[in-house]
Amino acid sequence: MASMVGNISNIFAEAADERVSDWFLMSSFWPNIALVVTYLALVYKILPEFMKNRKPFDLTEIIQIYNFGQILACCIIIYWMLTSGWIQGDYSLGCQPMDYSSKDPKAISLLQSMQWLYFLKITELLETMFFVLRKKFNQVTTLHVYHHVSTMIVAWTTCKYIGGPMPSIHIMMNCFIHALMYTYYYLASKGPEWQKCINPWKPWLTIAQMIQFTLMLIHLLPPLLTECSINTSYLVYEAFYMPNIMFLYYMFYKFYKRAYRKNRLSKKVE
């Protein structure tokens, strides 16, 4: 058993991008396990127990700062990636094989932006804790928790194994959608008047997420269906990544149906 685990560990070590091997939190997967275990313990056990006999905390100002910070961070990462080879014309939207040996400053800069995306995904775990501290337990859904955990792990895996131009397209799409989403949250936190103005746009955030997942799946297909010289690491990544996107799409569609379509139908009946 120990030898099998060792062999699997060696396979993953050999597939990794050596350029990030000594970067902070990039050398091992164990920090991710520690983060996920701590996160789940906090949101399902420790914080609910802590809040049991307490009133909900008023975190309005903290959440506003958090949302504004997320908007800013998403915009910075998009700009960082665009200026790391995209606007210079070094990359294309189609097949772009990985080059683990490249020491080109733009290629390293692109990798660094992916590491910072991973850090950003770690900070997003705070959202669930805000829900619990405000006693919004109904918002700690399976979709919410799975989405945050899976995106953090995907961000780490991307930087560790396939940090190149092809996944950066997905990252920029994701950051754009998240910038819109956090803008909505920021405005909603400004009070009832703002909420009344922007509430009609709320369903469109979920639709935008689903459009994003569809575009991601479309972009993942050409390397599998055409003669694209992608390495084994990317193929393995896609084997796990594609089902994850499909599952998220399904979960978001279920949420959209339950939260918005039923409400619309009930209003028509009234």
Q: pLDDT, tens digit, for every residue of 179-188?
A: 999 999 999 9
Q: Given a cut of 60, is residue 7 above it in pLDDT?
A: no
| pLDDT band of 4, cuts 50, 70, 90 | very low
The full DSSP string for 4-33 is HHHHHHHHHHHHS-GGGTTSTTTS-SHHHH
The full DSSP string for 233-265 is HHHHHHHHHHHHHHHHHHHHHHHHIIIIIHHHH
On average, the pLDDT of the chain sits at 88
Mean pLDDT, to the nearest integer, of 224-252? 83
Structure confidence at residue 101 (pLDDT): 81
Placement of tokens 């990359």 in the chain? 91
Structure confidence at residue 221 (pLDDT): 84
Q: Given a cut of 50, is residue 231 above it in pLDDT?
A: yes
Active-site option among 144, 147, 148, 178: 147
| pLDDT band of 270, cuts 50, 70, 90 | very low
Structure confidence at residue 232 (pLDDT): 75
Q: What is the pLDDT of residues 68-81, one digit of tens each?
A: 999 999 999 999 99
Q: Given a cut of 70, is residue 267 above it in pLDDT?
A: no
| pLDDT band of 268, cuts 50, 70, 90 | very low
Q: Given a cut of 50, is residue 17 above it in pLDDT?
A: yes
Q: Given a cut of 90, is residue 42 above it in pLDDT?
A: yes
CA distances from 96 to 77, 145, 171 (A): 20, 32, 15
Placement of tokens 């397209």 in the chain? 169
Class of residue 217 by CB neighbours under 10 A (exposed 0-12, middle 13-18, buried 19+): middle
Q: Given a cut of 90, is residue 93 above it in pLDDT?
A: no
- Residues of the chain with pLDDT > 90, as a percent, come to 64
Annotation marks residue 147 as catalytic: yes
**CA-wise closest residue to 185 among 195, 176, 193, 173:** 195
Q: Given a cut of 90, is residue 128 above it in pLDDT?
A: yes
